[in-house]
Structure 1
Amino acid sequence: MVGVDFGTLSGRAVVVRVGDGAELASAVHEYANGVIEERLPDSGVRLGPDWALQSPQDWLDVLRHAVPEAVAAAGIDPEQVIGIGTDFTACTVLPATADGTPLCELTPERPHAWPKLWKHHAAQPQADRINRLAAERGESWLPRYGGKISSEWQFAKALQVLEEDPETYGRAERWIEAADWIIWQLTGVETRNVCTAGYKGIFQDGRYPSRDYLAALNPAFAGFTAKLTFDGEPVLSPLGGAAGRLTAQAAEWTKLPEGIAVAVGNVDAHVTAAAADAVRPGQLVAIMGTSTCHVVSSDHLAEVPGMCGVVRDGIVPGLWGYEAGQTGVGDIFAWFVGTHAPGYTHEQLTELAARQKVGRHGLVALDWHNGNRSVLVDHHLSGVIVGQTLATRPEDVYRALIEATAFGTRVIVETFEGSGVPITEFVAAGGLIKNRFLMQVYADVLRRPLSVIGSDQGPALGSAVHAAVAAGAYPDIRQAAAAMGKRTENAYLPDPARADAYDRLYAVYRDLHDHFADGRLLHTLRAMRNEATA
């Protein structure tokens, strides 16, 4: 099997043995355009604050380069590959014509014609209106998202396009997640997966928000769901299903056999649960990288404040899948090293920070440098660091930032459990698990053991697991995950003394968290910044 993971800055492909999940080889292709945050490629058109776009050509280049390179490195005959699966960041969404052509290829000078990356947060005003109106009307779907829709999701981003560039909105015959668009390119057939529709597209109980509700937001928005459906009917494909077969053109890109199975699209975080064989109720998987996404399945429905969503069949068919997240984790550490610690590396700061006793730096930080996804669902919040003095060193702040992200995760775990969704196992995945100090901090802050995924390419491996099901090698995701997924249980154990000390720091964090949660002060500062940069 081949699994392909489309990330924020690059795409990676991994070749996996069907029988036991052994990873034979992998390859990475860096996006030429990376994250488009300041100016559009070629035209140089300037973007506003909080924008984040991507180029579809970068995604296709992953198919052209990473997949053939991984297969060649594995030393296998491409004819041995029986299926391919993919995953994507989300909500990364784009406007397209009826045949799937991205509008940015037709009008590249228009910012709203480009795909909006998951961390595009410029639609916060639209998200605020969506939430306020839904609460006023008592919309039944709102509690499924913890009471707030994120500015990252499909509807807020689409409403922003309508209100800021109605011509582009009108030309967009399809509004589609990149997770589904890439499958369209591989199979030649448009499909929509149940995961992104449920978590990012407000699809609950067999329907999208009503036409009446959308018209109340903006009369021109009333027919928006026609861009998501097929002749007005939502048709969603189950996870682990076959979306279609690899076309001749896609076979030429990937150098894989034409006609092999292509799995239904999926989200990077959600597919990682299968890679860790963590698809049973209560197993929370935290995919820790530039941001962190927390996913957990349950056999019952509960309404959890501030969650990204709860979706039937959203992670594993037959279970309710819950999602929460933090919009900045690794990005926060990278920001600090890149802008505030010249001459230091992550490794040096980690080593210095690890020598300290808990609380030695006298600092507490709020991990909101890229906004707050859970549980406050406000991407116009910003980071806070309290307790700095003239004696504060770079390693002090670095450690405080690591601890802040652990505290943010603890808020999420406590909110789950306080709402009736017990967490029986915490499984860590993603690039940050390589930092042993960081992992130990999380174990101590959470006061619970941490299991660790047994793969450096969790999403890509998870996509290969789903592809194995789509190709018929396994009857369902649970059995495929049991055979191909892997994790080390209890890899990190909490130290009672450090955990006690962190309880005291966490109490301060919660005080700060609740004090700044309404955004009164932080929103004012952001507004002043935006006015000054306009």
Structure 2
Amino acid sequence: MRCTLGVDIGTSSSKGVLVGADGGILATATRAHDVERPRTGWVEMDAAIWWDEFVAIARELLAGVPDAEVVGVGVSGMGPCILLADERDEPVRPAILYGVDTRSTAQIERMTAELGVDEITRIGGSTLTSQAGGPKIAWIAEEEPEAWERARRLYMPASWLARRLTGAYVLDHQSASQVSPLYDIEGECWHDPWWTRYAGEIERPRLHWAGEIAGEVTAEASALTGIPAGTPVVTGTIDAWTEAVSVGAHEVGDLMLMYGTTMFLVATGEETLRTPSMWTTAGAFAGTRNLAGGLSTSGALTAWLKGLTGADYPELLAEAAASGAGANGLLVLPYFAGERTPIQDPDARGVIAGLTLAHTRGDLYRAALEATALGVRHNVETMRAAGADIRRIVAVGGGTQGRLWMQIVSDVTGLVQEVPATTIGASYGAAFLAATATAAPGEVPTIIDWNPISERISPDEGLRPLYDSLFERYVRLYEGSRSVVHELAAAQRGAAPTTAPTTTPIAPEAS
């Protein structure tokens, strides 16, 4: 049975899928893992987990479908992550994760001062934030000189898997564009002067597009994984972009909304849009550009509340539904791990406003769901203010299994969300990329054939006045509490407050 295998390395788990030639799922496998948080603001992971879990997942999938004929392998992973390895491909330290890791604030400020914000955005497309890979590389160089002295190669989860499977040292353009400011977004190449200045002796990975073949499975990798030697492996990309591929939300005018541990948004267009509040990146495919954003917590916030209350999700969802729109006067800022876009503030912190002795855990859970929805609205309005033409919204990720959460997002944003039949996520998109890369001429599948839209979530227009008012308060609550929470964040680190963010959230009337 001809099929493709896709594996995605996520923040809290690795997921794999075997997909038949018609897009049908033949088998799935998952391995849960944890990130390490050795200090406030630090989020790391041992890269050995990525490969070990890929091997375990591949073997489980193939054992479950004995007649599987794997014709291609797709890889995907969270990002942008910074994994530096030595000349023997031994990691010199744990991988530093994407924007949830906020350790490089000093490097962001220094590099911005050295290069100039206008030049950084002209070359790389985006200002430097906790999402940018360049300052994380600079942090290693400055804070861990022994590790830096050994560093010779740069990887992210997808490119690490491609290397272990094929021996190819490659990185896709989309991932490279988030190693700001080392990538030239208009030239679609590494920016020589800044690579030399900040990446030193690190060898530059060859640049491919996400769906291009990186190489073939080696005999050594075959013996470990059970995948036949010679099987093509695509280059892959960051999970949010692979998720967009999995639901067909990668065409011009599309917005992909990913419900997961964090919330991620990717708007696709042809023009390079620049705004200090969002991330400008190369697209997954040639000829496309993205304006992207992300909340630092979404599913992580609801999981925290679940653990805190001892209730299970069905209980909490039922109580949140009973609480009703507005959560009986509660308003939450979901910045429990700082915030990425649009406020770009690593020292933001969670705020729960309006609490009384009459409030219940259902009210609090409802307010948390509404907080993530308000964060999505903040991002969408910022994207549109920057010129993004958003015509279609497609929802994906584990959170799409909960209808209440999606309904709240539609009610708060006023947007219709399309939900595809399969929302398993980035592993499915990786398998699709492998299928398109290995298909014979005239037999290239389309994602609409693989994964048609099954449901549309429409907003309740009667709730618009309530949520318009709540959004205005949401923006004001951050502005009014910012100085206090910055002081608290500094106390948590045992250090002085960082410089206030260079951007402020847009006011509701600016949308």
- Give the TM-score normalised by the residue count of structure 1: 0.86
Question: How far 1:514 moved relative to its partner?
Answer: 3.5
1:136 & 1:398 partners in 2: Cα distance? 40
User: 3-state SS of the aligned residue for 1:374?
Assistant: coil
Question: How far 1:361 moved relative to its partner?
Answer: 1.6
The one-character-per-residue Cα deviations of 1:287-342 (angstroms, maximum 9, x if unpaired) are 1110011112112232234112232xx22322222221111101011112223x2x
1:149 & 1:292 partners in 2: Cα distance? 20
Is 1:64 aligned to 2:55, yes or no?
yes
Question: Are the counterparts in 1 of residues 173 and 284 from structure 2 also a CA contact under 8 Å?
Answer: no
Is 1:189 aligned to 2:168, yes or no?
yes
Which one of 80, 91, 94 corresponds to residue 91 of structure 1?
80
Q: Which residue of 2 aligns with 1:217?
A: none
Question: AA paired with 1:162?
Answer: A
Q: Which residue of 2 aligns with 1:253?
A: 224
Is 1:77 aligned to 2:67, yes or no?
yes
Question: How far 1:460 moved relative to its partner?
Answer: 0.6
User: 3-state SS of the aligned residue for 2:207?
Assistant: coil
Question: How far 1:132 moved relative to its partner?
Answer: 4.2
Q: Which residue of 2 aligns with 1:454?
A: 421
The one-character-per-residue Cα deviations of 1:436-489 (angstroms, maximum 9, x if unpaired) are 111110110111211113224220110011111222346899x53233333335
**Higher-strand-fraction structure:** 2
Which one of 318, 323, 333 corresponds to residue 287 of structure 2?
318
Question: How far 1:408 moved relative to its partner?
Answer: 0.6
2:297 & 2:112 partners in 1: Cα distance? 23
1:132 & 1:390 partners in 2: Cα distance? 48
Which one of 113, 122, 129 corresponds to residue 110 of structure 2?
129
How many residue pairs get aligned? The number is 489
2:239 & 2:7 partners in 1: Cα distance? 10
Question: Are the counterparts in 2 of residues 161 and 168 from structure 1 also a CA contact under 8 Å?
Answer: yes
Question: AA paired with 1:115?
Answer: A
Is 1:175 aligned to 2:154, yes or no?
yes
Question: AA paired with 1:460?
Answer: S
Is 1:423 aligned to 2:404, yes or no?
no
Aligned CA-pair RMSD: 2.3
User: 3-state SS of the aligned residue for 1:240?
Assistant: coil
Question: How far 1:228 moved relative to its partner?
Answer: 4.8
Q: Which residue of 1 aligns with 2:476?
A: 511
1:229 & 1:360 partners in 2: Cα distance? 51
The one-character-per-residue Cα deviations of 1:363-422 (angstroms, maximum 9, x if unpaired) are 111111111111121222111111112222221111111101101100111111122112
Is 1:115 aligned to 2:115, yes or no?
no
Q: 1:417 to 1:10 in 2, by over 3 A?
A: same
Question: AA paired with 1:254?
Answer: T
Q: Which residue of 2 aligns with 1:26?
A: 28
Q: Which residue of 2 aligns with 1:265?
A: 236
Question: AA paired with 1:480?
Answer: T
2:39 & 2:325 partners in 1: Cα distance? 40
Is 1:499 aligned to 2:468, yes or no?
no
Question: How far 1:276 moved relative to its partner?
Answer: 0.6
Question: How far 1:68 moved relative to its partner?
Answer: 1.7
Q: For structure 2, list consecutive stretches of 5 or more residues without a partner in the other structure.
A: 496-511
Is 1:243 aligned to 2:214, yes or no?
yes
Q: 1:494 to 1:273 in 2, by over 3 A?
A: same
Q: 1:361 to 1:315 in 2, by over 3 A?
A: same
Q: For structure 1, list consecutive stretches of 5 or more residues without a partner in the other structure.
A: 38-46, 104-112, 215-220
Q: Which residue of 1 aligns with 2:360?
A: 393
The worse-fitting range, judged by mean Cα deviation, of 323-332 and 116-125 is 116-125
1:116 & 1:143 partners in 2: Cα distance? 21
The one-character-per-residue Cα deviations of 1:482-530 (angstroms, maximum 9, x if unpaired) are 333333352x1111112332112111112223434xx433221111122
Question: How far 1:136 moved relative to its partner?
Answer: 5.5
2:116 & 2:351 partners in 1: Cα distance? 29
Moved over 4 A (4+): 207-210, 473-477
Question: AA paired with 1:229?
Answer: R
Question: How far 1:360 moved relative to its partner?
Answer: 4.8
Question: How far 1:350 moved relative to its partner?
Answer: 1.3
Which one of 208, 215, 224 corresponds to residue 199 of structure 2?
224
Question: Are the counterparts in 2 of residues 90 and 200 from structure 1 also a CA contact under 8 Å?
Answer: no
2:419 & 2:115 partners in 1: Cα distance? 39
